[in-house]
Structure 1
Amino acid sequence: MTDHHFPLAAVVGADDLKLALCLVAVDPAIGGVLIEGPRGMAKSTLARGLAELLPSGHFVTLPLGASEERIVGTLDLDAALGEGRAQFCPGLLSKADGGVLYVDEVNLLPDHLVDLLLDAAASGVNHIERDGISHRHSARFVLIGTMNGEEGELRPQLLDRFGLNLALDGQPQPAQRAEIMRRRLAFDSDPQAFLHSWADAQNELRSRCLSARERLAAIPLDDAALEAIAQRCFAAGVDGLRADLVWLRAARAHAAWRGAAQIEEIDIDTVADFVLRHRRRPAPPAQAPQQQQPPQQQPPAPIPATSEQAQSDGQWGELPAQPQAMGERREPPRWAKKP
């Protein structure tokens, strides 16, 4: 029985995300897409729809509990024990070559596994040396990671290594929600009829991706685009140079997607938020303006207290000053001496 997947062309809304997915299909060297959003937002449906636009059509899901050996491959124990020879047993990276590797809840994976996936996605090669074997094979896949920020974050070093980052709106408008349900019910009730009704749109999307891939190498990475992107990355305060390189590749892929012969300002502007969303340096917290203190007034000079005030203020035992008459100075009396 053939598995039927919901076509990407029939997905309602999510236009920015669909564009970003098509761009990494045109140039996988962009480095994959990290999709953020709550559960139930058809993230896996979008990723499966992207796989159908690629030449191989492979779609590989990485289980959350997958080991490193299952991802990169390991020694074939049957050949080693039965025949006494070292033989490579391919892992998920080999199966995803030419297609899509989908990692749901990538933020819950151990950091070293996320790093391993990103390395393979960026280089397009899986090189393994272990258990007495040395093997190297192509691993040119489009990495699609999803995460719900409420369940944990990725370290900034790992975030930066995803080429593009987008967030899905968890609250579509009522009319859009109704159309999503209408198309989903139509697909579930008769997949063949639904796919037939969307075949022309899906074929057009697939042909556009193929034409853009063929046109990509002819579009120059010119100095004007490079300088404009460098200026904007500097203004955004991003760390490192990965943003510059990803932005340049994404702008070139968008130019190929439009059918243009060179990178133009519209290409740079269109992909700007895809590249910068997870790389912008957070602004420092705003400080509350200090209120100007009113000038302090000098206290009034004290008024001498009267006797009544002094007594009422608790200055007991003090007598008020009495005026003294100023007369002639008199000599003290001299007493006569006794005979």
Structure 2
Amino acid sequence: MNPTVAASPTPTPAPRRAVFPFTAVIGQEEMKLALLLNVIDPKVGGVMIMGDRGTGKSTTIRALADLLPEIDIVADDPFNRAPEDADLLAERGVTELPLAKKKVPMVDLPLGATEDRVCGTIDIEKALSEGVKAFEPGLLAKANRGILYVDEVNLLDDHLVDVLLDSAASGWNTVEREGISIRHPAQFVLVGSGNPEEGELRPQLLDRFGMHAEIRTVKDPELRVQIVEQRSEFDRNPQEFLNTYQAQQTELQHRLVSAQERLGGVALDHDYRVKISQICAELDVDGLRGDIVTNRAAKALAAYEGRTEVTVDDIRRVITLCLRHRLRKDPLESIDSGHKVEKVFCQVFELADPDAAAAANGRQPMGVR
């Protein structure tokens, strides 16, 4: 006689944690722009955010992930793959896959994570005894089609940073053990943050981040009070605060989706491409990553602004973010504030010298603090 098994009640989903809205973040425009451009075109290559403690780095990154619209995924897939994924359709021998919706994944990588935790592990015993590739997915699998955030990335083991950057660049994660190999998609926006007082990444690793944003503590007392009051309002009644910003959140979400759709049709004039490469050459930037990322970021900005042609101003707004961290040759050097990039940009595009313009207006030249 078979025992009767009582049907377990359907679990009630846990209430979703309120996340501070992206559109309510005050200041830090450089960081916000870099994050938005990477969402519009993930091939920009991620962003490294360096700045003082307590400046809202983690809050802003989580707010961006929460802002993004839900994505279509295969219902039972551990890698968040899209239902139209041709490889998965062929692998399962079907023409249609079960559909589910999910928030864009936001994965935090803890500092103490091991390579197995990040990349996943293969159960060798099961593989040998049962003849199947038993794979336990890691954080890279969870981050596919989402955002992988590494706080204090400058304190992470260099080898692990290398693994993350390789996966971010190729869009794939490969795990090999005892002659068994597993490969799965790992397409994500890599966001690293850190405090420069605790050390910088080696130049070779830093160069592989598409963009580098610097953020500083707000000095204006009025603005500081506004930030404190805003945070207090959110903590007191999160839902009411979210309702206040809902229209702005929805508008920005639609703007990002439209920019992603428009991106493929954005044109960058050949003369502008030549000048971007000329700037990279004059700044002695190693390799071609700087050229490629600046081209991509300028196009993403034009798409975000609702245009199909890149302007000189688009290039100006992104070029410092794309090049400042590629100028450092010596690990002991500090990263350029952007003054050198801006100066060469103005020379190549035959615009007014920023130092001369600052002096004429009675301000300190750029780069002088």
Match of 2:54?
40
Match of 1:24?
38
Q: Secondary structure at the match of 1:13?
A: coil
2:108 is the counterpart of 1:94: no
1:236 alignment partner AA: L
Match of 2:316?
269
**Which moves more between the two structures, 177-186 or 70-79?**
70-79
2:59 is the counterpart of 1:12: no
RMSD (Å), alpha carbons = 2.0
Correspondence for 2:186 among 126, 139, 145: 139
**Which moves more between the two structures, 209-218 or 231-240?**
231-240
- 2 CA distance for matches of 1:262 and 1:78? 56
**Which moves more between the two structures, 214-223 or 31-40?**
214-223
2:68 alignment partner AA: L
Give TM-score scaled by structure 1 length: 0.79
Matched ranges for 1:89-168 at <5 A: 89-168=136-215
Correspondence for 2:282 among 212, 222, 235: 235
**Which moves more between the two structures, 59-68 or 71-80?**
71-80
Q: Given that residues 59 and 99 in structure 1 are in contact (C-alpha distance below 8 angstroms), is that contact kept between their aligned partners in structure 2?
A: yes
Q: Given that residues 236 and 281 in structure 1 are in contact (C-alpha distance below 8 angstroms), is that contact kept between their aligned partners in structure 2?
A: no
2:234 is the counterpart of 1:187: yes
2:290 alignment partner AA: A
1:146 alignment partner AA: S
Match of 1:325?
none
Structure 1 residue 82 displacement after superposition: 8.2
Q: Given that residues 203 and 329 in structure 2 are in contact (C-alpha distance below 8 angstroms), is that contact kept between their aligned partners in structure 1?
A: no
Correspondence for 2:303 among 256, 261, 277: 256
Q: Given that residues 30 and 215 in structure 2 are in contact (C-alpha distance below 8 angstroms), is that contact kept between their aligned partners in structure 1?
A: no
**Which moves more between the two structures, 72-81 or 262-271?**
72-81
- 1 CA distance for matches of 2:169 and 2:187? 9
Structure 1 residue 100 displacement after superposition: 0.9
1:14-72 deviation per Cα after TM superposition (whole angstroms, max 9, x unaligned): 11211111000000111111011121111111110121233442110000010111111
Identity of aligned residues (%): 51
Q: Given that residues 237 and 281 in structure 1 are in contact (C-alpha distance below 8 angstroms), is that contact kept between their aligned partners in structure 2?
A: no
Matched ranges for 1:179-328 at <5 A: 179-281=226-328
- How many pairs were matched up? 284
**Which moves more between the two structures, 214-223 or 134-143?**
214-223
2:325 alignment partner AA: H
Q: Given that residues 55 and 217 in structure 2 are in contact (C-alpha distance below 8 angstroms), is that contact kept between their aligned partners in structure 1?
A: yes
1:136-160 deviation per Cα after TM superposition (whole angstroms, max 9, x unaligned): 2221111110011111221000111
Q: Given that residues 243 and 275 in structure 1 are in contact (C-alpha distance below 8 angstroms), is that contact kept between their aligned partners in structure 2?
A: yes
Match of 1:176?
223
2:108 is the counterpart of 1:61: yes
2:234 alignment partner AA: F
Match of 1:75?
122
Q: Secondary structure at the match of 1:2?
A: coil
Query: What stretches of structure 2 of length at least 5 have no aligned partner?
Result: 1-14, 70-102, 334-369
Structure 1 residue 13 displacement after superposition: 0.7
Q: Given that residues 58 and 96 in structure 1 are in contact (C-alpha distance below 8 angstroms), is that contact kept between their aligned partners in structure 2?
A: yes
Give TM-score scaled by structure 2 length: 0.73
- 2 CA distance for matches of 1:221 and 1:137? 33
- 1 CA distance for matches of 2:266 and 2:125? 49
Query: What stretches of structure 1 of length at least 5 have no aligned partner?
Result: 285-339
- 2 CA distance for matches of 1:138 and 1:281? 32
Match of 2:337?
none
- 2 CA distance for matches of 1:267 and 1:196? 33
- 1 CA distance for matches of 2:246 and 2:270? 41
1:204 alignment partner AA: E
- 2 CA distance for matches of 1:221 and 1:70? 41
1:296-315 deviation per Cα after TM superposition (whole angstroms, max 9, x unaligned): xxxxxxxxxxxxxxxxxxxx
Q: Secondary structure at the match of 1:126?
A: strand
Q: Given that residues 54 and 99 in structure 1 are in contact (C-alpha distance below 8 angstroms), is that contact kept between their aligned partners in structure 2?
A: no
Residues 268, 112 of structure 1: CA spacing in aligned structure 2 closer, same or farther, 3 A cutoff?
same
**Which moves more between the two structures, 237-246 or 81-90?**
81-90
The runs of at least 4 consecutive aligned structure 1 residues that moved more than 6 Å come to: none
Residues 115, 282 of structure 1: CA spacing in aligned structure 2 closer, same or farther, 3 A cutoff?
closer
Q: Given that residues 87 and 133 in structure 1 are in contact (C-alpha distance below 8 angstroms), is that contact kept between their aligned partners in structure 2?
A: no
Q: Given that residues 40 and 260 in structure 2 are in contact (C-alpha distance below 8 angstroms), is that contact kept between their aligned partners in structure 1?
A: yes
Structure 1 residue 235 displacement after superposition: 2.1
2:25 alignment partner AA: V
